[in-house]
Protein backbone atom coordinates (compact mmCIF):
# COMPACT_ATOMS: atom_id res chain seq x y z
CA UNK A 1 0.00 0.00 0.00
CA UNK A 2 0.95 3.65 -0.39
CA UNK A 3 0.02 6.32 2.16
CA UNK A 4 -0.28 9.66 0.36
CA UNK A 5 -0.19 11.81 3.49
CA UNK A 6 2.57 11.37 6.05
CA UNK A 7 4.58 13.87 8.08
CA UNK A 8 7.58 13.28 10.28
CA UNK A 9 8.41 15.22 13.44
CA UNK A 10 4.64 15.12 13.93
CA UNK A 11 2.99 13.53 16.98
CA UNK A 12 6.49 12.60 18.14
CA UNK A 13 7.30 10.42 15.12
CA UNK A 14 10.74 10.70 13.57
CA UNK A 15 11.73 8.80 10.39
CA UNK A 16 12.57 5.49 12.05
CA UNK A 17 9.44 5.42 14.20
CA UNK A 18 7.34 6.36 11.17
CA UNK A 19 8.75 3.46 9.14
CA UNK A 20 8.02 1.05 11.98
CA UNK A 21 4.43 2.28 11.97
CA UNK A 22 4.24 1.76 8.20
CA UNK A 23 5.48 -1.81 8.68
CA UNK A 24 2.70 -2.52 11.17
CA UNK A 25 0.06 -1.33 8.70
CA UNK A 26 1.58 -3.00 5.65
CA UNK A 27 2.40 0.30 3.95
CA UNK A 28 5.27 -0.01 1.50
CA UNK A 29 5.80 3.70 0.79
CA UNK A 30 4.51 7.06 1.96
CA UNK A 31 4.36 10.46 0.35
CA UNK A 32 6.39 12.47 2.86
CA UNK A 33 4.98 15.98 3.13
CA UNK A 34 6.30 19.10 4.81
CA UNK A 35 4.58 22.25 5.98
CA UNK A 36 6.57 25.41 5.38
CA UNK A 37 4.50 28.53 5.97
CA UNK A 38 6.11 31.88 6.68
CA UNK A 39 3.02 33.86 5.73
CA UNK A 40 1.32 33.69 9.12
CA UNK A 41 4.35 34.13 11.32
CA UNK A 42 2.39 32.32 14.03
CA UNK A 43 2.52 28.60 13.31
CA UNK A 44 5.36 26.86 15.10
CA UNK A 45 4.95 23.51 13.38
CA UNK A 46 6.53 24.75 10.16
CA UNK A 47 9.82 25.02 12.04
CA UNK A 48 9.89 21.22 12.41
CA UNK A 49 8.30 19.93 9.18
CA UNK A 50 10.78 21.50 6.78
CA UNK A 51 11.81 20.47 3.29
CA UNK A 52 15.35 19.93 4.57
CA UNK A 53 14.09 17.43 7.16
CA UNK A 54 12.02 15.70 4.48
CA UNK A 55 15.15 15.38 2.36
CA UNK A 56 17.16 13.93 5.25
CA UNK A 57 14.46 11.36 6.08
CA UNK A 58 14.14 10.34 2.43
CA UNK A 59 17.89 9.81 2.13
CA UNK A 60 17.77 7.62 5.23
CA UNK A 61 14.85 5.55 3.88
CA UNK A 62 14.90 6.05 0.08
CA UNK A 63 12.76 2.97 -0.59
CA UNK A 64 10.04 3.95 1.90
CA UNK A 65 9.51 7.70 1.52
CA UNK A 66 8.57 9.72 -1.56
CA UNK A 67 9.58 13.34 -0.89
CA UNK A 68 7.29 16.33 -1.49
CA UNK A 69 8.30 19.94 -0.93
CA UNK A 70 6.06 22.46 0.77
CA UNK A 71 6.46 25.99 -0.54
CA UNK A 72 5.10 29.31 0.70
CA UNK A 73 4.78 31.69 -2.27
CA UNK A 74 5.65 34.55 0.11
CA UNK A 75 9.07 33.05 0.83
CA UNK A 76 12.19 34.31 -0.90
CA UNK A 77 12.31 33.27 -4.56
CA UNK A 78 10.02 30.23 -4.15
CA UNK A 79 10.29 29.13 -7.78
CA UNK A 80 14.07 28.91 -7.49
CA UNK A 81 13.67 26.88 -4.31
CA UNK A 82 11.20 24.53 -6.02
CA UNK A 83 13.58 23.99 -8.91
CA UNK A 84 16.30 23.09 -6.42
CA UNK A 85 14.12 20.44 -4.77
CA UNK A 86 13.10 19.13 -8.17
CA UNK A 87 16.75 18.72 -9.14
CA UNK A 88 17.39 16.87 -5.88
CA UNK A 89 14.67 14.33 -6.69
CA UNK A 90 11.50 15.54 -4.98
CA UNK A 91 8.28 14.27 -6.55
CA UNK A 92 5.44 16.61 -5.57
CA UNK A 93 4.30 19.90 -4.05
CA UNK A 94 2.69 19.71 -0.64
CA UNK A 95 1.36 19.99 1.82
CA UNK A 96 0.24 23.44 0.70
CA UNK A 97 -1.40 24.78 3.85
CA UNK A 98 -1.34 28.55 3.73
CA UNK A 99 -3.29 31.51 5.01
CA UNK A 100 -3.83 32.73 1.47
CA UNK A 101 -6.74 32.38 -0.89
CA UNK A 102 -6.40 29.12 -2.77
CA UNK A 103 -6.52 31.09 -6.03
CA UNK A 104 -3.86 33.60 -4.96
CA UNK A 105 -1.84 34.42 -8.13
CA UNK A 106 1.47 33.64 -6.40
CA UNK A 107 0.14 30.24 -5.35
CA UNK A 108 -1.14 29.59 -8.87
CA UNK A 109 2.35 30.28 -10.23
CA UNK A 110 3.70 27.49 -8.01
CA UNK A 111 0.90 25.15 -9.09
CA UNK A 112 1.86 25.75 -12.71
CA UNK A 113 5.52 25.07 -12.00
CA UNK A 114 4.54 21.80 -10.31
CA UNK A 115 2.61 20.93 -13.46
CA UNK A 116 5.72 21.64 -15.51
CA UNK A 117 7.60 19.14 -13.35
CA UNK A 118 4.81 16.57 -13.60
CA UNK A 119 4.22 16.87 -9.85
CA UNK A 120 0.85 16.52 -8.12
CA UNK A 121 -0.13 19.36 -5.77
CA UNK A 122 -1.54 18.27 -2.41
CA UNK A 123 -3.43 21.12 -0.72
CA UNK A 124 -5.31 21.65 2.54
CA UNK A 125 -8.50 23.73 2.81
CA UNK A 126 -9.82 24.64 6.22
CA UNK A 127 -12.36 27.05 7.65
CA UNK A 128 -12.25 28.39 11.16
CA UNK A 129 -13.84 26.02 13.65
CA UNK A 130 -13.38 25.24 17.36
CA UNK A 131 -9.92 23.81 17.81
CA UNK A 132 -8.56 25.38 14.60
CA UNK A 133 -7.55 28.99 15.04
CA UNK A 134 -6.90 29.88 11.42
CA UNK A 135 -8.36 29.26 7.99
CA UNK A 136 -6.19 27.91 5.19
CA UNK A 137 -6.45 28.22 1.39
CA UNK A 138 -9.90 29.81 1.44
CA UNK A 139 -11.93 28.34 -0.26
CA UNK A 140 -13.18 25.43 -2.37
CA UNK A 141 -15.56 27.64 -4.33
CA UNK A 142 -12.64 29.79 -5.47
CA UNK A 143 -10.71 26.67 -6.40
CA UNK A 144 -12.95 25.88 -9.35
CA UNK A 145 -11.30 28.63 -11.41
CA UNK A 146 -7.89 27.13 -10.62
CA UNK A 147 -8.99 23.69 -11.81
CA UNK A 148 -10.37 25.22 -14.99
CA UNK A 149 -7.33 27.40 -15.71
CA UNK A 150 -4.67 24.80 -14.81
CA UNK A 151 -5.83 21.61 -16.56
CA UNK A 152 -2.22 20.46 -16.82
CA UNK A 153 -1.86 20.31 -13.03
CA UNK A 154 -3.08 17.40 -10.92
CA UNK A 155 -4.51 18.52 -7.57
CA UNK A 156 -5.08 16.35 -4.50
CA UNK A 157 -7.54 17.86 -2.00
CA UNK A 158 -7.57 17.38 1.76
CA UNK A 159 -8.88 18.99 4.95
CA UNK A 160 -12.18 19.90 6.63
CA UNK A 161 -12.90 22.74 4.21
CA UNK A 162 -12.51 20.34 1.32
CA UNK A 163 -14.35 17.26 2.56
CA UNK A 164 -17.39 18.99 4.10
CA UNK A 165 -18.46 19.79 0.53
CA UNK A 166 -19.42 16.21 -0.26
CA UNK A 167 -22.79 17.36 1.04
CA UNK A 168 -25.06 19.92 -0.56
CA UNK A 169 -25.79 21.56 2.80
CA UNK A 170 -22.13 22.26 3.60
CA UNK A 171 -22.61 26.00 3.96
CA UNK A 172 -25.34 25.49 6.55
CA UNK A 173 -23.69 22.66 8.46
CA UNK A 174 -21.91 23.28 11.79
CA UNK A 175 -18.20 24.09 11.49
CA UNK A 176 -15.64 21.34 11.73
CA UNK A 177 -16.72 17.81 10.87
CA UNK A 178 -20.42 17.62 9.89
CA UNK A 179 -22.32 14.53 10.95
CA UNK A 180 -25.39 12.80 9.60
CA UNK A 181 -26.73 12.04 6.14
CA UNK A 182 -25.09 13.57 3.08
CA UNK A 183 -27.48 15.58 0.93
CA UNK A 184 -27.40 15.89 -2.85
CA UNK A 185 -25.73 18.77 -4.64
CA UNK A 186 -22.32 18.77 -2.96
CA UNK A 187 -19.79 21.13 -4.51
CA UNK A 188 -17.04 18.52 -4.28
CA UNK A 189 -19.14 16.06 -6.26
CA UNK A 190 -19.68 18.64 -8.98
CA UNK A 191 -15.96 19.42 -9.16
CA UNK A 192 -15.02 15.75 -9.38
CA UNK A 193 -17.52 15.27 -12.19
CA UNK A 194 -16.33 18.34 -14.06
CA UNK A 195 -12.56 18.32 -13.61
CA UNK A 196 -10.52 15.14 -14.15
CA UNK A 197 -7.42 16.80 -12.65
CA UNK A 198 -8.91 16.72 -9.14
CA UNK A 199 -8.16 13.83 -6.76
CA UNK A 200 -9.06 13.25 -3.10
CA UNK A 201 -6.87 12.39 -0.11
CA UNK A 202 -8.78 10.39 2.52
CA UNK A 203 -6.42 11.30 5.35
CA UNK A 204 -7.08 12.81 8.77
CA UNK A 205 -10.46 12.89 10.49
CA UNK A 206 -11.89 15.05 7.72
CA UNK A 207 -11.49 12.41 5.01
CA UNK A 208 -12.57 9.51 7.18
CA UNK A 209 -15.59 11.45 8.46
CA UNK A 210 -16.68 12.29 4.91
CA UNK A 211 -16.97 8.64 3.89
CA UNK A 212 -18.22 7.26 7.22
CA UNK A 213 -20.83 9.83 8.34
CA UNK A 214 -23.32 8.30 5.91
CA UNK A 215 -22.36 4.68 5.22
CA UNK A 216 -24.51 4.28 2.13
CA UNK A 217 -23.23 7.50 0.58
CA UNK A 218 -19.62 6.80 1.53
CA UNK A 219 -19.59 3.39 -0.10
CA UNK A 220 -21.22 4.72 -3.27
CA UNK A 221 -18.71 7.56 -3.35
CA UNK A 222 -15.72 5.23 -3.11
CA UNK A 223 -17.11 2.97 -5.83
CA UNK A 224 -17.93 5.82 -8.21
CA UNK A 225 -14.69 7.74 -7.71
CA UNK A 226 -12.43 4.76 -7.09
CA UNK A 227 -9.87 6.08 -9.58
CA UNK A 228 -9.76 9.53 -7.98
CA UNK A 229 -9.55 8.73 -4.26
CA UNK A 230 -6.37 7.78 -2.40
CA UNK A 231 -5.60 6.27 0.98
CA UNK A 232 -3.74 8.56 3.36
CA UNK A 233 -3.52 8.93 7.12
CA UNK A 234 -1.90 12.20 8.33
CA UNK A 235 -1.93 10.45 11.70
CA UNK A 236 -0.16 7.45 13.16
CA UNK A 237 -3.25 5.30 13.62
CA UNK A 238 -4.85 2.39 11.78
CA UNK A 239 -8.43 3.70 11.62
CA UNK A 240 -8.43 4.59 7.92
CA UNK A 241 -7.34 1.19 6.67
CA UNK A 242 -9.55 -0.57 9.19
CA UNK A 243 -12.57 1.32 7.89
CA UNK A 244 -11.74 0.63 4.24
CA UNK A 245 -11.43 -3.07 5.01
CA UNK A 246 -14.61 -3.12 7.07
CA UNK A 247 -16.85 -2.05 4.18
CA UNK A 248 -15.57 -4.89 1.98
CA UNK A 249 -14.88 -3.02 -1.23
CA UNK A 250 -14.23 -5.02 -4.40
CA UNK A 251 -10.55 -5.91 -4.61
CA UNK A 252 -10.09 -3.80 -7.75
CA UNK A 253 -11.48 -0.74 -5.96
CA UNK A 254 -9.51 -1.36 -2.77
CA UNK A 255 -6.27 -1.75 -4.74
CA UNK A 256 -6.93 1.44 -6.69
CA UNK A 257 -7.54 3.49 -3.54
CA UNK A 258 -4.67 2.05 -1.51
CA UNK A 259 -2.01 1.81 -4.21
CA UNK A 260 -2.69 2.15 -7.92
CA UNK A 261 -4.01 5.70 -7.99
CA UNK A 262 -0.96 6.96 -6.12
CA UNK A 263 1.33 5.07 -8.48
CA UNK A 264 -0.47 6.66 -11.40
CA UNK A 265 0.40 10.12 -10.12
CA UNK A 266 3.88 9.37 -8.77
CA UNK A 267 5.34 6.24 -10.38
CA UNK A 268 8.00 4.32 -8.46
CA UNK A 269 10.18 1.36 -9.34
In CATH terms, the superfamily for domain 2-265 is: Metal-dependent hydrolases (3.20.20.140)
Query: Which residue from 175, 248, 252, 240 is spatially nearest to 211, judged by alpha carbons?
Result: 240
Helices 215-224 and 204-212, interaxial angle, to 10°?
Answer: 110
Tell me the domain boundaries of the chain: 2-265
State residue 49's pLDDT score.
87
Report yes or no: 38 and 70 within 8 Å, Cβ to Cβ: no
Block mean pLDDT (10 aa), the chain, length 269: 95 95 98 81 62 96 98 93 98 94 97 98 87 82 97 97 96 88 97 98 97 97 98 97 97 98 95
Q: Is 205 exposed, middle or buried (0-12, 13-18, 19+ CB in 10 A)?
A: middle
User: How far, in Å, CA of 135 to CA of 264, rounded?
Assistant: 31
pLDDT for 153 equals 98
pTM for this prediction: 0.95
CB burial string 159-184: b at 16+ within 10 A, e below: bbbbbbbbbbebeebeebbbeeebee
pLDDT score, position 133: 67
Amino acid sequence: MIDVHMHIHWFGYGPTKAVRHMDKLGVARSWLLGWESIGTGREEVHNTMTNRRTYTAWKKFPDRFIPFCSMDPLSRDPERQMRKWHELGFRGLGEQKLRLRVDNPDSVALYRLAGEFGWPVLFHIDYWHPGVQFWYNHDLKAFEAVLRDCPEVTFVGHGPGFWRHVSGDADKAPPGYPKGPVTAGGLLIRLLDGYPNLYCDLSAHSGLNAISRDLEFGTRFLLKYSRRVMYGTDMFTSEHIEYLRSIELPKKVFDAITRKNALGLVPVD
